[in-house]
Amino acid sequence: MPSFDVSLEPDMVKIKNGVANAAKEIGTRFDFKGTSAAVELKEKEKEIQLTGDSDFQIDQVHEVLVGKLTKQGVTLNFLVKGEKLEKLGGDKLRRTDKIKDGIEAELAKKITGAIKNSKLKVQASIQGNEVRVTGKNRDDLQLGIAFLKKEFADQPLSFGNFRD
């Protein structure tokens, strides 16, 4: 039976480039001179750490990062803004933003429910952090992809592992 997988995977190379460009701009900007403003990517943990002297400065660093990520073509839906600020020492603060990787359970349930309600001749099942969609022929699956792109336009879904 033909099938494909729906997943939510960030392009880590583009994110890495965006963070590097943001760090370079932070290092050269006049308003950040002599401060502890910095941005760092933790690739293994899939998080970005923003450091600054105040919460206002961390917000400024975040704005620079957002600008550089959008120039790289990264959808900002992958970024989950950290809630709490950590005190590092002195007057330094750090905020950790997470990078989404994989479809969360709530979104996976919405996708499978939307496919069931769409009256298309395909079935969806949740498999870990992906959703597998199966159908009788390739045309049904292509209709399913088009439906999901239209229905979940705000999510950066990727469709892969297409099998006949």
Percent of the chain with pLDDT over 90: 26
User: Would you state the pLDDT for residue 19?
Assistant: 93
Alpha carbon distance 106, 110 (integer Å): 6
Q: In the block, which residue shows the tokens 């729906």?
A: 6
3-state helix, strand, coil in the chain (%, to 5): 40, 30, 30
User: Would you state the pLDDT for residue 63?
Assistant: 93
Coil, helix or strand at residue 122:
strand
Local structure of residue 118 (DSSP, 8 states)? T
Q: In the chain, where does the domain assigned CATH 3.30.70.860 lie? A: 3-9+102-163
User: Would you state the pLDDT for residue 87?
Assistant: 87
Q: In the chain, where does the domain assigned CATH 3.30.70.990 lie? A: 12-99
Domain 12-99 coded CATH 3.30.70.990: yes
pTM of the model: 0.78
Helix pair 12-28, 55-72: axis angle to 10 deg? 130
| Domain 3-9+102-163 CATH (choose: 3.30.70.860, 3.10.20.30, 2.60.40.1730, 2.60.120.1090) | 3.30.70.860
